[in-house]
Structures are given as structure tokens and as C-alpha cells.
Amino acid sequence: MKGKNTGGKGGPKSPKIVPVWWIYVAIGGLILSFQFFNMYNGPTKISSDECYEFIKKGEIKRVIIVKEGDYAYCEAYVTEEAKTLPDHQKLRKGGYYQFDIHDASDAKNEMNKLSKSSPDQGENFTIVSRNKQPSMWDNLFSYIIFFGLIIAIWMFMMRRMGGGGGPGGQIFNIGKSKAKLFEKDTTVDVSFKDVAGLAEAKEEIVEIVDFLKNPKKYTVLGAKIPKGALLVGPPGTGKTLLAKAVAGEAQVPFFSLSGSDFVEMFVGVGASRVRDLFKQAKEKSPCIIFIDEIDAIGRARGKNPAQQANDERENTLNQMLTEMDGFGSNSGIIVMAATNRADILDKALLRPGRFDRQIMVDMPDLNERQEIFEVHLKPLKLDDSVEVDFLARQTPGFSGADIANICNEAALIAARSEKKFVGKEDFLAAVDRVIGGLEKKNKIIKPKEKKTIAFHEAGHATVSWMMEHASPLVKVTIVPRGKSLGAAWYLPEERQITTKEQIFHEMCATLGGRAAEEIIFGEISTGALSDLEKVTKQAQAIVTIYGLNDKLGNISYYDSTGQSEFAFGKPYSEHTAQVIDEEISKIIEKAYMKAKDILLENKEKLTQLTPIISKSKFMLGDEFSMIDAALAPLLWRLDYYQISLPDSAAPLMKYAERVFSRPAFSEGLTAHEKIMRR
């Protein structure tokens, strides 16, 4: 984003912020320097034995014994002749040595004895004793300079850390808001035109922005400006991008920050920052405040057993609630927030009067994915094989962030192959990489394991094509990707509601891999781990969430409010828990037996398909359909042109109609099939 910001990045240049640890480094350096200064400018320290040795040699002319209370030391002055000797090169300014003694009288007697017994010691050797009273003024000047320097450096660094007076930088401004401010004349390079899809969400947001631009249009009719809007949706769907577009379109001051910006290690900082934020907002009214990831401070109160560790966050939330309900409805301050965990937010935060509107930003549908692809394909150099409609149909359940990642991955794959343009196969490879992970071309797989994997994936493919409500097959591969050794990818229908039969058919297709292993090899392997995890969750949903089980009846144990997140008990008895376990097991076993029955009936097709997958390492869904019903496309074409068919062709026609008329399959038709449909 370009433009002038206040209190954040992108604003006027401010002095470089100095980290706090530099203060301690500087103070430590000063202390060490002071110690070294005293060490090298004071007297040379030696031991008493060294001094006695110098006295024996006649190199000491005078010793002064100094007593300071219980402490005593000696100052031994060297003769002028001895100063030139190598032993005294370490002698510093003052011309004397200093050493500590325990008893002054014993030291005096010892030195007198040594001086008389040494032929080198002259008669001019003298020993003087004196008492020294400790004074508070000793070295006062040095300490004044030392501490003065420390204070000066501290003040200098505090000013540097202030960042030119901006909030949030220095320690004394820790209670200030860390929000970035985009003034109304700020140029932001994101607008509503850059937000593809999200038609309903944009309509809601545009109305709020229009209220700030043209308030009379609404106030004349008695309408009041909404106090807040909460953007709710899965990660990557464009909530923050929508907020950036608001900053670019609103033409009013826009405060932006994250929920975690309120949290600090110091108690009371969060509430203080909330107060400061709304104080700044009132000064800039009309304006918009955007808080990203508000669940960092807006989690429901009283749910955490470790309550004491939660007080600071709750204080911040309480202050937020007070501020949002504390200003008048026509003050011109709108609070926008984004979260992907609306179920855990405090109810008081969600009530009308605080967040009046909850705007759902859901996963894009087919048309919205086309719009998103058109936005992200603009900077890419594409060849003629790329069709936006085809890419949108190949990415069901993908968010806007996923689509942006696919476009970037496709460009990287094309560049890696030294292509001049990004082609359709590059996008398909990018989809494979995003879904399945990085391809492991050099992974060593034994022939027996490879055969098992091929039959496993062929089992998935065969069962999915035989089940009416199973998702159509898109691709089967035995190339290892990520954690998987093979994969069968499908094109799921974008249903709004799902029946029990549809879920059951999906479970049968998922268990087709393990069923194929048992039929062909007479044993099962660990390769079905992810399949078992998936069907177990589906069976649990049938029994405990959607109320689709006959024995338990129309009952659901799902809590959409999230209030039971920290509950210690289950909402059902031990007997019911046993029934739930039994019903889940029955459903999974029933799906497994159904998959086995289908594979036993179509064992010939299974054995035909497996060698092809093993040899080519992957197959597309339309190629498998030709193995299953080679005449199906032709029969469909004859029926399309209303050409009469013999009665013997009715079974094949029925199958072709079932396969090729399903919306999910027709959405995923290849270019070749589209030609056939003409």
C-alpha cells in the first residue's frame, strides 16, 4: 500500500528504532570500560612474595603501610636504577607497587628482616605507617562522570526508540495503539474491482462505505449507521482483501491492526491500547476501524479453566465491549473485524449494537472461481490451451488464496521447463502439487508394493464409477506425492445438502482401495490409513451430527456455538456411547462389503485397469470410462440427435445417460467430449 500512514509502516520517515537490548549492551560496555580504566590507571598490583623478593634485591627504597579500618595494604616504591630493569617494565604511573597484607606489624617486621639480611638492600630503605580514614568524596568525580554517561546514553536511546514520537515504539508509549492509519487522501492500490467474486459480501460492505460518503441519503429516512460488521469465513476466502478494498474506496480515515496487537506481556496494556485506539478514531471521525483475527481477544469469557492466565485478555475484551457500546450511533465510527472462528467469539461481542452485521465470506462457487482465475491470470503469459472455465471446474472447494497459489505454481512449473508460455498441463500439475504435495520421482518402491498400490487405486476408481452418487473420477495416479504413495482424485458435486445415500456411496468409493487389496491378494495393508480416517469421520457425522441413523433417530450432538469446547462430560450416557460405536462400525462395515461386492462383480474391469495405471503411472477419468463402456459416448451422441436405438442398447444407454448427464461430470468434460456433444 502506498500513501501516508500514521503510527505504522509507510508513514513519514522516522529515526531508526533501537532495540531495548542495545541499552543493556551499552551500559555493560560502560561498566567494563570503567573497570579497565581504573585497572590501567591505578597502581600496579603484585603479591607480597614478589615484593619481598624485590626487597631482597635492593630494588625497593621505601614502603608505606596504609591501614583503612580492618583493611591494610602496602605501597612499595622502586628505586630509580631498578625502574630500567626488565622485571619492572610492567610498573605503571606512580612508580610503586601495591599489595594487600593481613597484619601490618607482621609485614613490617618481615620487610625489616629482609632488608637487613640482604647485602643488596641499602641503608636508605625506610618503612612508614599511616592510617587512612575512608571518605565518601573519594573518587566522587569519577563516579559522577560514569553515571552521567549512563544517564545520557539511556535518554538518547529512549528518544531513538520513540520513533519520532509515534505510538507503540518506546517503552513509555507501550499503552498506545499500534494501529496503522490510512488518511482519506492515502492511495491504496486495492479496490472493489480487485476483489473477484464475493458479490453478496461486497454489496454489504459497499453500503457501509456509501453511508460514510453520503450519510444524508440514509439519515433523511431515519436510518442509523451500523456500528460494526464482522467478516466471517474460512481462511483464504478474501476477508482481509475485502478490508483493504474498503481502505482504498472509503475516502475516510482507516485504522488497521490485528487482534494480537492488543496483547502484550504487561498487565493492562491491552485495555489501554483499546482506549487509545478509540480516542484516535473519535478525533478522526467519520472513520473505519478494522481488526483482523479478532478471535485473539474476542474469545468467549469463562470457558478456560486456567482463568487467572486469561484475565488480561478478558480485560481487553471488556474494554472493547465498553468502547463499542460507549459512543453514539451517529458518531461516524464503524468497526470492521474478520475471523474464521466466529463460533468461539463472546456473545456480547456479536450482539446488535456492537457488530450489527455478520457478513459471510464463504468458499467461492464455480462462477466466482472463474472471476478469481481471471484476476490472477492477468499477469501470466498463457498459451491457447488454457481455459478459465476448465480451470474453475478442476478446483472445487478451493479458496481464493488456493487459486492464487495454483496460478503462481503453474508459472513456476512452466519456468522450470523453460517454456515461453504457461499451458494447461502446467495448471494441472500445479493442482496436483497443491492437493497431493510435491511429486517424489526418485522414491524407491518395490515391485510388489507398486502392484499393491496400483490395485488399491484401481479399486477406488472402479467403485466410484459404479456408484451412482459417488463423485466422478478425474485422475488416478501411483506417483508418490507428499505422504501418499498413490491417489485417486475426484470432481465432487457442489451440493448444498447431502443425503445419507450420497454419503454412503462416497464411503464405498473410499473403501474401494482396501477392498481391492483383499480381493486380489487375500490380505490388507496399512496403505488405507487416510481412507479409514475419512470414512470414520463420515460415519461419525451420520450418527452423531446429522441424525441420519435409524437406531439413534433424529438427534444431533453437534454444538455449533462452541460453548462446550472445554466441557469435561459428554452429552449422552455410556449406553448411548456404546450404541454410537456399534452403529459407526456397522455403517463402515456395510460400506466395505458393498465395495467388495462391486469389485467382485467387476473384477475383470479391475484387472484390465491396473496394468494400464502401472504402466502409464496415471489415467484421466474419461480414459477409464472408455474401458467401462466404450460405446457410451457414441450412444449419447446418437440419442442427442434423436436417432432411434434398438432395445438391446437400452442397458448401455442407461449407463451412458447416468454417467454423462450428471452435473458434476458434465462440468468436468474435456475439450474432446465437448466436441462429441456437438
Which residues are catalytic, by number? Answer: 457
> 181: Cβ–Cβ under 8 A, 6 or more apart, which residues?
5, 6, 7, 8, 253, 254, 255, 280, 284
Strand order in the sheet with 473-477: 487-490, 473-477, 618-620
Locus of grid cell 502506498 = 2
Locus of grid cell 453500503 = 207
Residue 376 gets which letter from DSSP? H
Task: Compute the distance between CA of residue 177 and CA of residue 164 in angstroms, rounded to an integer.
Answer: 15
- Contact call for residues 474 and 428 (beta carbons, < 8 A): no
Q: Would you call 443 exposed, middle or buried from its count of C-beta atoms within 10 A (0-12, 13-18, 19+)? A: exposed
Closest to 337 (Cα-Cα) out of 368, 296, 276, 371 = 296
- Contact call for residues 118 and 58 (beta carbons, < 8 A): yes
- Contact call for residues 340 and 296 (beta carbons, < 8 A): no
- In the Cβ-directed half-sphere of 591, how many Cα atoms lie within 13 Å? 32
- Contact call for residues 281 and 255 (beta carbons, < 8 A): yes
CA distances to 124, 442, 444 from 448, in Å: 105, 17, 12
Closest to 425 (Cα-Cα) out of 393, 381, 385 = 385
Residue 309 gets which letter from DSSP? G
Q: Is the dihedral of CA 466, 471, 477, 478 positive or negative?
A: negative
State the pairing for strand pair 44-45/60-68. unpaired
Task: Compute the distance between CA of residue 597 and CA of residue 591 in angstroms, rounded to an integer.
Answer: 10
- In the Cβ-directed half-sphere of 328, how many Cα atoms lie within 13 Å? 5
CA distances to 70, 186, 395, 492, 494 from 366, in Å: 92, 35, 9, 12, 9
- Contact call for residues 224 and 356 (beta carbons, < 8 A): no
Task: Compute the distance between CA of residue 476 and CA of residue 424 in angstroms, rounded to an integer.
Answer: 18
Task: Compute the distance between CA of residue 192 and CA of residue 245 in angstroms, rounded to an integer.
Answer: 5
Closest to 490 (Cα-Cα) out of 438, 441, 531 = 531
DSSP helix/strand/coil, 291: strand
In this structure, what are the phi and psi dihedrals at residue 382, rounded to the nearest 5 degrees?
A: -110, 150
H/E stretch holding 487: strand 487-490
Locus of grid cell 441424525 = 547
Task: Compute the distance between CA of residue 479 and CA of residue 438 in angstroms, rounded to an integer.
Answer: 10
| Cell of residue 650, nine digits | 437400452
CA distances to 72, 472, 531, 564, 593 from 506, in Å: 94, 10, 11, 30, 14
